[in-house]
Amino acid sequence: MSKDNLFFYFKYTIGTYLDIIFSIPIFIFQQFFKYFKVIIKLNEINSLKLDSIIENSSIFKKRKKLREELETLPGVLNIRSNIVASILMILTGIPIAKFAWNLIYNIVKDSSILIQYISNALITVMAQLLIGYLFFIIIEIYSDKKKYSKNNILSSKKIFKGLVKIINSYLIFDIIYFVMKISGQLFFLYLGKDPGYASFYTDLIAFSLFYIFALFFGLHTGLIQIEKNVHKHL
């Protein structure tokens, strides 16, 4: 990976997160105007005038410029998929860790406490990774159905290839996450924390690190596809 690539990945990451920040108030106002138009029953002309207020706002123009110059929309969709998958992983990790602890205690209750801690962390992280990848591909298909379709019909072959690309894109982080999850959960369990909270605290630390480099992984492996003149920077 060259210095030029790293610089562009950094620039694209900043641009994408700015896009997300700009998109939040735009989304809020769009939803407000949407329901406002229904309530007061605006005609088509006045409805279009109301839409133009958002389109002529400085925030909308800044976001439009970002999407034209850096093509940040694919990055935004990627982060959205990651956020939903991450939330599901974090939240499901709590009951999984608790269930795994009870299961382990009943099966290997006579084993050393270290083995019980390691077994709990292993079961939790494997289940979380499975859930994360499953929901990530579902959200990806929902966000960009065309990308996973052939002749306007979802293609199992393209979905499988997409899943392989996703796994390949985040393999480095997943290895880091796996190690962090095992060591972090062991640490919090050793401190006497509940298995569910041990999983939760470890995930907060791990995913905070992940979102710094998520777009680097996606761009480098081609998971985030940029089709315009932005390619000349790569």
Please say whether the beta carbons of 205 and 183 come within 8 A. Answer: no
Domain tally, the chain = 2
Residue type, 106: N
Residues of the chain scoring pLDDT < 70: 1-3, 36-50, 228-234
Torsion of CA 145, 147, 153, 158, to 10 degrees: -120
- Do residue 132 and residue 227 come from a single domain? yes
Question: Which of 54, 69, 84 marks a domain boundary?
Answer: 69
Give the Cα separation of 149 and 156 in Å (integer): 8
- Do residue 50 and residue 81 come from a single domain? no
Domain with 10, as residue range(s), is: 3-69
- Do residue 61 and residue 95 come from a single domain? no
Q: What is the pLDDT of residues 30-59, one digit of tens each?
A: 888 777 666 666 555 555 666 787 888 899
- Do residue 95 and residue 60 come from a single domain? no
Which helix (DSSP H) or strand (DSSP E) does residue 212 occupy? helix 195-221
Quote the pLDDT of residue 4. Answer: 73
- Do residue 8 and residue 42 come from a single domain? yes
